[in-house]
Structure 1
Amino acid sequence: MEKRETIRLDKWLWYARFFKTRSLATKLVSGGNVRVNSNKVSKPSVAVGAGDVLTFVQAKVVKTVRIEACGTRRGPAPEAQLLYEDLSPPPEPKTKPGEFVPPVPKYEGKGRPTKKDRRKSLLSRFDLLE
């Protein structure tokens, strides 16, 4: 029987560009927030390989991915996307079809008053006192 190629879980998450640093990936796994083949994992050194299914939360979105390859380096994004197949359902649209979406209010230029505006307001206060 041929031994399958494996890699540390935290290293694979970093290679696949799910996390910016390996230490962030390690923190997520150590917190018990990752499942490998529906089993909770709390050690970043768990060996994963092709065919394993990972479930974890990233930026408040639950991700489910199947590992396609282990990878040898943290390469560019197109190379990293070849390491997995995304099984997550597509995100729900923010609005339903036919639903009214109010327009975004426009900036009217009313921000911090200028020095001239502040002087005017000070002068108008003195007029009220007399």
Structure 2
Amino acid sequence: MRLDLALCRLRFVRTRSAARTLIEGGHLRVNGTRIDWVSRDVGIGDILTIPLRNGVVVARIDALPDRRGPPAEAQSCYSLLDRAGAEPLAAPRDTTGAQGTRP
């Protein structure tokens, strides 16, 4: 399945044109490799790293949906690998500057 279509059907973006903008901007990774062409094929088992407004989503594709269905149906087609910022990759950026200071 095309990457732009998969992002739309998995409900990471609202439209294929939004997926196209995200992909062509070079902001998306598939299996750790930066992707900038929308027609790249993705399949079951691929790992997507997607920057969104509220952080980074790292997800493994478990199934490819036939349509853009309800959110619950889309969420059953992938597994989040970094739940709610539990790992530093998807954690919100520390803007207080406290991370590099010593007591």
TM-score if structure 2 supplies the norm length? 0.79
Percent identity reads: 41
1:19, 1:44 → 2: CA distance? 14
Q: Where has structure 1 moved over 4 Å in runs of 4 or more?
A: none
Name the aligned partner's letter for residue 10 of structure 1: D
2:11, 2:84 → 1: CA distance? 19
1:23-77 residue CA offsets vs partner (Å, 9 max, x unmatched): 0011100111111000110001100000000101011401100001111100001
Which 5+ residue runs of structure 2 have no aligned equivalent?
Answer: 87-91, 93-103
Which 5+ residue runs of structure 1 have no aligned equivalent?
Answer: 1-6, 95-130
Aligned-residue RMSD, C-alpha: 1.8
Q: Which has the higher contact order (CA 8 A, sep 6+)?
A: 2
Tell me which structure has the larger Cα radius of gyration. Answer: 1
Q: What is the number of residues matched between the two proteins? A: 88
TM-score if structure 1 supplies the norm length? 0.63
1:77-114 residue CA offsets vs partner (Å, 9 max, x unmatched): 1111111101124237x9xxxxxxxxxxxxxxxxxxxx
